[in-house]
Amino acid sequence: MSLVRLFYPKTIAIVGASQNLDSIGGQPIKYLQKYGFKGNILPVNPKYSEIAGLKCYPSISDINEEIDIVLVAVASKRVLSVVKECVEKKAHFVLIFSSGFAEIGNVKEQQELIEAVKGSGTRILGPNNQGIVNFVEGIPAGFNPLLDAEVVRKGNIGIVAQSSGMGFASIGFAIERGLGISHIATVGNQADIDIMELIQFMLEDEHTSIVTCIIEGVKPNSRLPELAKLAKQKGKELVFLKLGRTAVGKKASMSHSGSLAGDAEVFDAFCQQAGVISVKDMEDLIDVLVGLQGKRPGGNRVVIATETGGSGILAADICDEFKIKTPGLTEETSSSLRKILPSFASVQNPVDFTAQFFNEEDLFRNCLLEVVKDSNIDVLMFSFGPTRGKVAEKMADDIIKVSKTLTKPIFISWLTPEQPFFKKLRAANIPLYPTPYRCVRTLGYIMRQESSMMSKEEKSASKPKHAVQQAVSLTEYQTKKMLEKYGIKLPKGGLATSFQEALNLSAQIHYPVVLKLMSPQITHKTDAGLVILGIKDEQELAASYNALLERAGTSFPQAEIEGVLVEEMVQKPVAEVILGIKYDVSFGPVMIFGLGGIFVEVLGDVARRVLPLTREQAFGMISSIKAFPLLNGYRGRPKGDLEALADTILNVSHFALEQQDKFAEMDINPIFLMPEGKGVICGDALLIPR
Amino acid sequence: MSLVRLFYPKTIAIVGASQNLDSIGGQPIKYLQKYGFKGNILPVNPKYSEIAGLKCYPSISDINEEIDIVLVAVASKRVLSVVKECVEKKAHFVLIFSSGFAEIGNVKEQQELIEAVKGSGTRILGPNNQGIVNFVEGIPAGFNPLLDAEVVRKGNIGIVAQSSGMGFASIGFAIERGLGISHIATVGNQADIDIMELIQFMLEDEHTSIVTCIIEGVKPNSRLPELAKLAKQKGKELVFLKLGRTAVGKKASMSHSGSLAGDAEVFDAFCQQAGVISVKDMEDLIDVLVGLQGKRPGGNRVVIATETGGSGILAADICDEFKIKTPGLTEETSSSLRKILPSFASVQNPVDFTAQFFNEEDLFRNCLLEVVKDSNIDVLMFSFGPTRGKVAEKMADDIIKVSKTLTKPIFISWLTPEQPFFKKLRAANIPLYPTPYRCVRTLGYIMRQESSMMSKEEKSASKPKHAVQQAVSLTEYQTKKMLEKYGIKLPKGGLATSFQEALNLSAQIHYPVVLKLMSPQITHKTDAGLVILGIKDEQELAASYNALLERAGTSFPQAEIEGVLVEEMVQKPVAEVILGIKYDVSFGPVMIFGLGGIFVEVLGDVARRVLPLTREQAFGMISSIKAFPLLNGYRGRPKGDLEALADTILNVSHFALEQQDKFAEMDINPIFLMPEGKGVICGDALLIPR
């Protein structure tokens, strides 16, 4: 059912309505009247006959109209009976403000609410939320003191907030920064209507072009990837503030909204891939929303202009930290500036316009006009010092005038508290920040998203379909044979079930060879001494073969023996790498890539990506680990076959996507990365069945 | 000469005084009058007879009074003659506002200014600065439009700023946050009076208890370590914002103030060791100054309290990021809170007071009183949502009242734009921030400094004094012998000048042995094939010995051969580590520690410390690298002898401090870290002479 009536209702009933208009049951009445809601407001409370000049009904069933929204502000133990009445009455939406459900462990009580509406046309938002406000038409179907204190401007930002307080807090800061809001929906425990449905509504709402979501957990099998695609199609922006990122935060989140917070690293990996912005604090959220009011940068080259050397340096330092380029100006621009500016001005990047424009009226505008012409830059960033007063206002006016003629964005850091003329800059949609750090950080967020958007190809390598046997307790040999079907290269060799077969295989593949005992009951072969490396000749082969069977017989008398895997000893790899697959409840299969051993385990030097991947993203994954130089011809050593590695990543990705019902985890470790042109070889592989 | 008259002058002359009171030569006159300066203001300009009601003099020599300060606002080419006049006149201080000196490469012109005052009693501040303002007595001997627009409150913060614009910008933000200022000194090119002298003045000034310094470069052989100690003795705080941290920023800084920016990593290492705070942006600077108005935390355990679940979670996430502990409440506190709060409230950490206090007047204060009693916490942090209005004001009043009775600090994040009652919190010195991130980041800065202060022991291991030969082109053998005198352990072995000596040495130390050819002209022995490892017996020894001499003869016919170093082959070290020494121009010898090979070179996993070190700091250095688990018994492997490693770090530190006149760099690589109780052994060492 569409959520349109939830956001654009004609009739709103309030159960638990109160004559105290500051209480939870009173606030919605006060705000609906204040905002001039044109529909019907229907207070419900058997204690009163009238509230704030409106007729008050004893119960929902006493109302003789179609009801779009029922707001519920009664004690938790009374909620279920109210919901049942609403179903009876065929009300469209029930917004339950009351707390005391799954967020404090009362899962059964919450389940009863879900059961009560099941199969009916009635849907629930909440419990444990603060409602919905439509600022476009002025319909505050919620409660929060902010609605009393502030005038919220209509605008292009829609907010979906799991934590109601955080949602309304974001509006407070948005007002301060001159931003306008279309809707806010607070979500609470998501017993029925969930975050994704609300995001979808906002993506489809004509008044909303930026959807902000303050989220704690993403539910299993989330529709988020689909919504990210929808946002892209519609040319709208999605910006997330994810709470519960750390172990401590997750625990707190659990007790606050009764939902699991999920893995923040996977969430960030998804966002990066999907061209969605993921911020970490309220302030960077608001800063990004300000930045998205401006034009979009076409690349990541920034020229910094300043009138105060120090703030230019600070901005340059921070650009470097966020990997934003600050190339020099073209010779043409430099020499034009030289002609205008005093000799002590720097015409590098940062460009120092100097305080000389205090004395020369048109100097600032003339410099500005030269700099924006430069073909080397995508963004002009002003990093101003504390200049204020009339001179500063004229600078702002010049910027506004010039900006109108540009396709490039202008971003400003102005190291001074709020000035009256800042309003003009905001009205002209020129992003404005109090410090270089916040300005550059915002550019970093927006540019990362842009570059992700640009590099994302929808085409993905073709996916072969294979019939694969059921996955229970596969041996290394069986696992490798499955992987081979997906194009993953194995060491030369095969399974021997007698010494003679082992002898023949070894002769074919040439010594030295490796022997590994295969049994579905023995997964940790190396620890059990069931792998022997570097066998040089027939004599050693015989001794090793017998030793393996003996050890297995002694240590694992019950184990079925599939045979002995005979493989070539892979010589001189450039590196041993790891590919792992984990299944994330929200996003499905996630790939992990890194160098073997301590690189992953001690140093945590890994790259993560949500599947599927494009070939370009596979390369991005390879080159994003810190140890990448070791794969790429470090200190005269041979360069690894990165093309083959990328292919293998895609092949493993196909495998993982197709087989995700059967396996909980996969670990290919090591993969031998051979020198260029020599491919990669799967050394060992382990699948953990579901 | 004391700087007291610079900050507390009685007579101020302005050369280049202008009737346009908004120009650089006019602003100081306007501000001195506005601030009610009680001394004499003496404008100097041959064009006028009067400016702003003051008598105007044709030149400095026409003034018949003792002059404390001369402000110079004339074109750069006229500055030298003005300075000469000032020297003639025996003026105490000349503040040169004019630009056009070392900052644009005019080093000679700046040098002439220095020569002009040399040997006289006159001292220069600048050129290229905006002067000095004493807010305690209201003496603005500088220019900046901020002085026109704002009323600056007297307070405990002194500012020393290399970039004048940044310095005045910090005052703008300080005013906004209710902070008070004692003095600002802008520095410019530091031709004469430098940053360190100004910091020292402020540390000794009775009105200043927090000294803030916005700095680009630290000069060679800086007095900063001594000043950090002085600050500690006086119980005052030093807070730095260092600009020019990155390559791009350094280049920009060079062209802005004509000074080298220095290595930011070394600067940060120094600050951490010295208990000085080093921030990265204007906003965290101001946030820290706000935090330092509050009480000091006694440790790093924070309890977070909230009325909005989401903001509590966010704060908990961020505490984790900054390694601040959020332990649970004591059983006693939890059960007391349980009795007061509704059942759906969380009495963990974060504590959720819930919005229930909207309905119950004393609930908030009662909860607050319970929480602050908890013995498990050092700081109470409120992470409030957007609660505002009367309820919020009452919360603030309760906090102020309770805070007065506490020794623990209360820090607040309040997710709402400025509210009228925030002024009361500031007046009560309760640090207040708009978001959890900024509040926690500030706590992180202050706590790191506190813990550094506490762990810093003044005692350092005793320093042996040694006579060492002159350092030119030492061989590995000579270098090792020097290190041995400082207690650094070498492999068994010695120098052989004949095969017979090599044979005897090998017999003594047992095979396998290592041979290395020693020549003062050959530094890269391994690359030249002049190191042979793993020699097993007398036969191999003979062949290897001859091979080395032959190779040296062929490849380096001119090289003097000192002999062949015969050493034991060190067996089974836990790890090979590196100790390096570099000399930083500002801070002297800096030690670098890390694991050998790619760990340092590719992964950049190193720890840096400015010397000298305490033993505790040596341990801190060892455990701060990411690869530390590899030294500490990783996966059942033996644990390294970390005690011996710490001793070696201290020994190398003594060596480096004593020999710093002779060596530019030192590299001990590898150091074999042996298992516990077996010490460490210096594998190879290289000294680069100055």
DSSP B331-400: HHHHHHHHHHS-TTS--SSSEE--GGGGT-TTHHHHHHHHHHT-TT-SEEEEEE-S--HHHHHHHHHHHH
Distance, CA of B620 to CA of A671 (rounded, Å): 36
For A:102-131, CB contacts with B below 8 A are 103-104
H-type helices in B486-641, by residue range? 499-509, 538-555, 598-601, 615-623
Inform me whether the pLDDT recorded for B470 exceeds 50. no
- DSSP-based three-state secondary structure for A253: helix
User: What pLDDT score was predicted for residue A556?
Assistant: 87
Distance, CA of B528 to CA of B518 (rounded, Å): 12
Distance, CA of A260 to CA of A189 (rounded, Å): 11
Inform me whether the pLDDT recorded for B458 exceeds 60. no
Burial A108-145 (b: 16+ CB within 10 A, else e): ebbebbeebbeeeebbbbbbbbbbbbbbbbbbbbbbbb
* pLDDT bracket for residue B465 (50, 70, 90): very low
User: What pLDDT score was predicted for residue A455?
Assistant: 41
Within 10 angstroms of residue B413's Cβ, the number of other Cβ atoms is 27
Tokens of A360: 């020369």
User: What pLDDT score was predicted for residue B344?
Assistant: 73
Q: How far is CA B611 from the centre of its chain?
A: 14
DSSP class per residue in A413-426: EE-SS--TTHHHHH
Pair A236, A205: CB distance under 8 Å: no
Longest dimension (CA), chain B: 102
Pair A429, A401: CB distance under 8 Å: no
Could you report the per-residue pLDDT of A622-676, keeping only the tens digit for each? 998 989 999 998 888 899 999 999 999 999 999 999 988 888 889 999 999 999 9
Smallest Cβ distance to B598: which of A104, A417, A630? A630
ipTM: 0.83
Torsion of the alpha carbons at A331, A337, A339 and A344, rounded to the nearest 10: -110
CATH fold of B492-568: Dna Ligase; domain 1 (3.30.1490)
Could you report the per-residue pLDDT of B488-514, keeping only the tens digit for each? 999 999 999 999 999 999 999 999 999
β-bridge mates for residue A93, sequence order:
A69, A123
Pair B356, B391: CB distance under 8 Å: no
Distance, CA of B484 to CA of B473 (rounded, Å): 18
- Residue B679 phi, psi dihedral angles, 5° rounding: 75, -170
Yes or no, beta carbons of A165 and B348 under 8 Å apart: no
Tokens of A391: 């001179």
Question: Is pLDDT larger for residue B616 or for residue B53?
Answer: B53
Inform me whether the pLDDT recorded for B536 exceeds 60. yes
For A:457-496, CB contacts with B below 8 A are none
Q: Which residues of A touch B144 (CB under 8 A)?
A: 386
Distances (CA, A) of B387 to A172, B302, B486: 10, 22, 64
* pLDDT bracket for residue B140 (50, 70, 90): very high
β-bridge mates for residue B593, sequence order:
B579, B607
For A:549-588, CB contacts with B below 8 A are none
Tell me, yes or no, if the two domains B1-128 and B150-293 fold the same way.
yes
Yes or no, beta carbons of B320 and A247 under 8 Å apart: yes
Within 10 angstroms of residue A431's Cβ, the number of other Cβ atoms is 26
Distances (CA, A) of A503 to A131, A512, A673, B438: 75, 12, 28, 69
Measured between CA atoms, the residue of chain A closest to residue B602 is: A627
Measured between CA atoms, the residue of chain B closest to residue A149 is: B389
Tokens of A456: 């994302």
B415–A contact, CB cutoff 8 A: yes
Among candidate residues A224, A284, A268, the one with its CA nearest the CA of residue A624: A268
Inform me whether the pLDDT recorded for B87 exceeds 90. yes
Among candidate residues B152, B171, B165, B164, the one with its CA nearest the CA of residue B195: B164
Tokens of B673: 């870290």
Distances (CA, A) of A15 to A5, A525, B643: 19, 66, 71
Question: Is pLDDT larger for residue B190 or for residue B264?
Answer: B190
Tokens of B508: 């003594």
Inform me whether the pLDDT recorded for B263 exceeds 60. yes
B614–A contact, CB cutoff 8 A: no
H-type helices in A35-183, by residue range? 76-88, 107-117, 146-149, 164-176
Inform me whether the pLDDT recorded for B260 exceeds 70. no
Q: Which residues of B touch A348 (CB under 8 A)?
A: 251-252, 255
Provide the residue ranges of all domains of chain A, joining segments of one domain with +.
1-128, 150-289, 302-455, 492-568, 575-689
- Total beta-carbon pairs less than 8 A apart between chain A and chain B: 305
User: What pLDDT score was predicted for residue A465?
Assistant: 43
Specify which of A157-161, B295-299, B599-603 reaches the highest per-range mean pLDDT: A157-161
Say whether domain B575-689 belongs to CATH 1.10.1740.10: no
Distance, CA of A14 to CA of A82 (rounded, Å): 11
Q: Which residues of B touch A350 (CB under 8 A)?
A: 252
- Residue B167 phi, psi dihedral angles, 5° rounding: -60, -50
Strands B563-568 and B493-496: antiparallel
Distance, CA of B43 to CA of A163 (rounded, Å): 62
Residues lower than pLDDT 50 in chain A: 453-471
Could you report the per-residue pLDDT of B322-359, keeping only the tens digit for each? 889 999 999 999 999 989 888 778 888 999 887 777 77
DSSP class per residue in A284-302: HHHHHHHHTTSPPPSSSBE
Yes or no, beta carbons of A389 and B145 under 8 Å apart: yes
Distance, CA of A291 to CA of A285 (rounded, Å): 10
Yes or no, beta carbons of A281 and B436 under 8 Å apart: yes
User: What pLDDT score was predicted for residue A689?
Assistant: 83
Yes or no, beta carbons of B308 and A163 under 8 Å apart: yes
Quick one: average pLDDT of B272-277?
A: 87
Nearest-CA distance from B672 to chain A in Å? 19
CA atoms within 13 A on the CB side of B578: 24
H-type helices in B17-157, by residue range? 27-34, 76-88, 107-117, 146-149
Pair B600, A629: CB distance under 8 Å: no
Nearest 5°: the CA angle A450, A453, A458 is: 170
Say whether domain B150-293 belongs to CATH 3.40.50.261: yes
Specify the CATH class of B1-128 in words: alpha beta
Decide which of 1.20.120.420, 3.40.50.970, 2.40.30.10, 3.40.50.261 is the CATH code for B302-455. Answer: 3.40.50.261
Which CATH code for domain A150-289?
A: 3.40.50.261
Yes or no, beta carbons of A252 and B385 under 8 Å apart: no
Distances (CA, A) of A66 to A61, A62, A70, A118: 11, 12, 11, 20
Q: Which residues of A touch B385 (CB under 8 A)?
A: 163, 165-166, 168-169
Among candidate residues B420, B425, B381, the one with its CA nearest the CA of residue B404: B425
Cα dihedral sign, B18-B20-B24-B30: positive
